[in-house]
Structure 1
Amino acid sequence: MKFFPTTLLIIFIVCAQVARAEENPPRKKRKSQLLKELPASINKDTANDVSGSDAAPFKPSIQVGAIVHMFAGAEQDGFGSPSAAEAAKDWSKSFTLYRARVLVGGQLSKKGSFFMETDLPSAIGVQLSTGNKSTKVSPILLDCQYEYDFSNAFQLVAGMQLVSNNRNGLQGAAGLMANDFTYFQYPYNLFENSPLNGNFGRDLGVNARGFLAKDKLEYRLGVFTGRNTDGKAPLRTVGRLAYSFLDPDKDYYYAGTKLGNGKTFTWGAGFDAQGSYYNLSTDVFLDKPLGQAGSLTLNAAFQYMTGGTDTLSKYSFARMIPRQTVQFLELGYYFKEPKLQPWVRFENQHIISQQAQTSGVPTYDFDQTNSSYVVGGGLNYFFNGTGTNLRLSYTTRSYDVKEATGYADKTFGQVWLQVQFFIF
């Protein structure tokens, strides 16, 4: 499959025409971003309670909430791994408790706040990829962070937090448009044994963040632990710049869809690097009313990443992260009267490894069998915005599978009917 990075440029131009360069004055209230997994533009009551009046005496506050995703699903054998291609006609079925998070946040002072979140380390139910059933798991600490707002232009966030150089990797689970996160945003940062020693996309470190140019320009720059086996590893450095052409986009965890609340058109670019590894990305997000019926959401990104070719240094990623490009696109339309949102998604992970990265494996074979792409779509029904909703999705994942006569493009399917409830 061929890839065209210029696709993002075309999307960007289309978005600019839809947005029409509208300007709205920024709201003058201050928000504590860490207290919300739900975007403030949707959860306005929470934002008002947290911000308060500068003239009123300060009182510490605390909030407790939860987010749950559970689904009935079916997945064709081979969806998670092409090695199971010989049984591609068989389907595994399951009722699954996928996420069960407890959220705790608090305002400790006028400028200081904290956020903590737990989650399940693995889903409860039949694991579709293995067929094994788990009936209980112990929760893990997912997020644990403290934020201090020195000013609107400079804030520090310290602790365990989501780490990414692109928008989709910094989305909150409650604000997703599709049924789940993308397949390729955390390919090397998901688990402890991943190349970057991640924790479901989280890492420990300190992140600086601020807003300039009337809140239209956001920057993020942080240093994190990354991969570390002896305490002497170079720090992982992650940065991002984003410019909002319409309403300021100030949520700490971005929304995947805002259901027409406000007008957002944001372009961003970022980097992620440690040792011989680096990842460069650019992304665009549009969410605004379009027509009388409802609102359009578009989310697109392009990444180039590689572990480099240095195979001698101790913190080389050359044989852990092959050179590759990742493309991502989500497009949906929210019909406000029936509260329905159809959406489509496309993702590509195209591996084009360098010879030094394959460690003796023929490059052609390695690239063919590890590249894959995802095409899917679904329909969401919102009982109460992101508070309670139902999502039906069908997703396919395609690989080049090696057979006796050569390579063949194989496609495997997955069906989810997922319910979400969220309160914070």
Structure 2
Amino acid sequence: MGRKSAVDVAMLLSLVAIAVAAPAPARAQAVIKVTDDVSLKFGGQVQAWGDLAEDAQGYYTKNLYIRRLRFLMGGQVAKPVTFFLQADVSNLGKPGNKGPGLSILDAFLSYKPFAASESSTLRDALQIDAGLFLVPLCRNALQSTLTFLSLDVAATTLVDNFNGLGLRDTGLQLRGFFFDSHLEYRLAAFQGLRTASGRNPLRLAGYLQYDLFDREKGYAYQGYNYGKSKILALSAGIDAQGSFRALSASLAVALPVREGDELDGLVQYLHYDGGKTLGYVVDPEKKTESGIPVQNDVLVEVAYYIGALQLAPFAKFESQYFVDGNLNQNKGVMYFGGGFKYFVAASNLNFTVAYTRAQPRSSADAAGVARKGLNQVTAQLQMFYF
């Protein structure tokens, strides 16, 4: 570990420790209040993983590492202006990681031009976000890492992470709510991938969601609501730059079914087409691949939160289907998995144990080389405060 990396990690650990240890009122998080219109708050997130993963030779690798180590800061600088900053060291200690480095995940300002209006409809109609934030393509990409129904973000959702910024990009977004805040829209223009001249098109994204029951008005959506909200959300999204296209449709539910219990689910469809902008290219000499192949992907997650036990068993299915027959034979895969979460203190402290099997769509690739299913078992400890 280089000196700079060590300093980055030490600094972030210190900030997280301070944030988590900060005294807080019983009813809310600790907030530094300067005036009625100016405030500041801090937080931290740690997700420690231990996993047992099968390799292509049938052996199992064993690893203990920190999946996410995050420092959060948010606040208000004027009545209509808020900000959010999230820094991260990911996969700390995992083999193959190039080294711990502090990266900025989120850094954006939000301005509500109608915040002073007496009409709640007008107040919520428009919010302008500027900076680095999540690309609004699909429900899973916009979901909080604290409350995934299963262990982590879906592999098929990560296909959209072609710029390596954690499903985020720098840009400008218009966001708001209509129809008594049941309908949400997000329209954004991003930097995307730039050519040397910088004359190529910007990256454009849009997302619509309709909540039939309770409204969801945060930056990121919750998976588990612990029986406190009734969610039935329909959504669709698009992400495009040049001839690249990504389309999504999803249905999310979080329904109280008994006293303190909750039935949760997410069904998501994604279509990717790299086009000429991000077309799939194989370099046989360098043995490298780049771009995004045309594919149709599906994610299904279900969970049942048992309030009396603070326990949630879950199951997950994921399918990555490539339109090109040879490519699908070589790389097409399905994921099957399940596990449980034990919530000591909701999102603030919980444990997850998850099993996943990556099952190839074919027993052999186009060259006749056998393709083998791989198993993985992961345990996670999560601590969070904000």
Give the TM-score normalised by the residue count of structure 1: 0.76
Q: Is the 8 A contact 1:275 1:317 kept in 2?
A: no
SS at match of 2:108: strand
1:94: Cα distance to partner? Answer: 1.1
- Supply the AA of the counterpart residue of 2:87: T
Q: Alignment RMSD, CA only?
A: 2.5
Instruction: Say if 2:124 and 2:177, in contact at 8 Å, map to a contact too.
Output: yes
Give the equivalent residue in structure 1 for 2:226. 259
Summarize the Cα distance change of 1:75–1:156 in structure 2 as closer, same or farther, 3 Å threshold: same
Of 301, 305, 310, 1:334 maps to 305
1:108 is matched with 77
More displaced stretch, 334-343 vs 290-299: 290-299
User: CA contact under 8 A between 1:373 and 1:397: conserved in structure 2?
Assistant: yes
**Counterpart for residue 222 of structure 1:** 188
Tell me the distance in 1 between the aligned counterparts of 2:206 and 2:264. Answer: 25
Normalising by the residue count of structure 2, what TM-score does the alignment of the two structures yield? 0.83
CA contact 2:212–2:231 (8 Å) conserved in 1? yes
Aligned-residue identity in percent: 31
The residue aligned with 1:153 is 125
Matches within 5 A, 1:22-421: 45-46=27-28, 58-77=36-55, 85=56, 87=57, 89-120=58-89, 122-127=90-95, 132=96, 137-150=100-113, 151-189=123-161, 194=162, 197-230=163-196, 231-292=198-259, 294-308=261-275, 311=276, 315=277, 317=279, 319=281, 320-353=291-324, 364-399=325-360, 400=362, 402=364, 406=368, 408=370, 410-421=372-383
The alignment of Structure 1 onto Structure 2 pairs a total of residues equal to 342
Unaligned runs of 5+ in 2: 1-25, 114-122, 282-290
User: 1-side partners of 2:203 and 2:366: how far apart?
Assistant: 43
Say which SS state the counterpart of residue 187 (structure 1) adopts. helix
Q: Distance in 1 between matches of 2:182 and 2:70?
A: 32
Is the Cα–Cα contact under 8 Å of residues 198 and 226 in structure 1 kept in the other structure? Answer: no
TM-superposed CA distance for 1:138, in Å, is: 2.3
Closer, same or farther: CA 47–279 of 1 in aligned 2, 3 Å: farther
In the aligned structure 1, how far is the partner of 2:268 from the partner of 2:31? 34
- Whether contact under 8 Å (2:67, 2:92) holds in the other structure is yes
- In structure 1, list runs of 5 or more residues that go unmatched: 1-43, 78-84, 354-363
Q: Write the deviation string for residues 103-153 of structure 1: whole angstroms up to 9, x where unpaired.
A: 011111111100111111x412242xxxx587x612111111110112310
Q: How far is the alpha carbon of 1:291 from its aligned partner?
A: 2.7
Task: Report Cα offsets for 1:59-83 as digits up to 9, x if no partner.
Answer: 3111110011002111000xxxxxx
Native 8 Å contact 1:58 1:109 kept in 2: no
Q: CA deviation at 1:304?
A: 1.5
Question: Is this contact kept in 1: 2:136–2:186, CA < 8 A?
Answer: no
CA distance in structure 1 between the partners assigned to 2:307 and 2:181 by the alignment: 28
> What is the one-letter code of the residue matched to 1:72?
G
Distance 2:280 2:370 in 1: 28
Q: Partner residue of 2:384?
A: 422
CA distance in 1, matches of 2:367, 2:101: 46
Distance 1:234 1:401, change over 3 A: farther
Aligned-pair CA distance for 1:367 = 2.2
Q: 1:262 to 1:60 in 2, by over 3 A?
A: same
> Residue type of the partner of 2:76?
Q
> Helix, strand or coil for the counterpart of 1:406?
coil
Is 2:313–2:340's contact at 8 Å kept on the other side of the alignment?
Answer: yes
- For 1:104 and 1:49, how far apart are their aligned partners in 2? 11
Alpha-carbon distance, 1:229 to partner? 2.5
Which 4+ stretches in 1 moved above 6 angstroms?
Answer: 47-50
**SS of the residue 1:115 aligns to:** strand
Alignment CA distance shift 1:409-1:164 (3 Å): farther
1:297 CA displacement = 0.5
Q: Tell me the secondary structure at the aligned position of residue 108 of structure 1.
A: strand
- Partner Cα separation in structure 1 for residue 366 and residue 220 of structure 2: 47
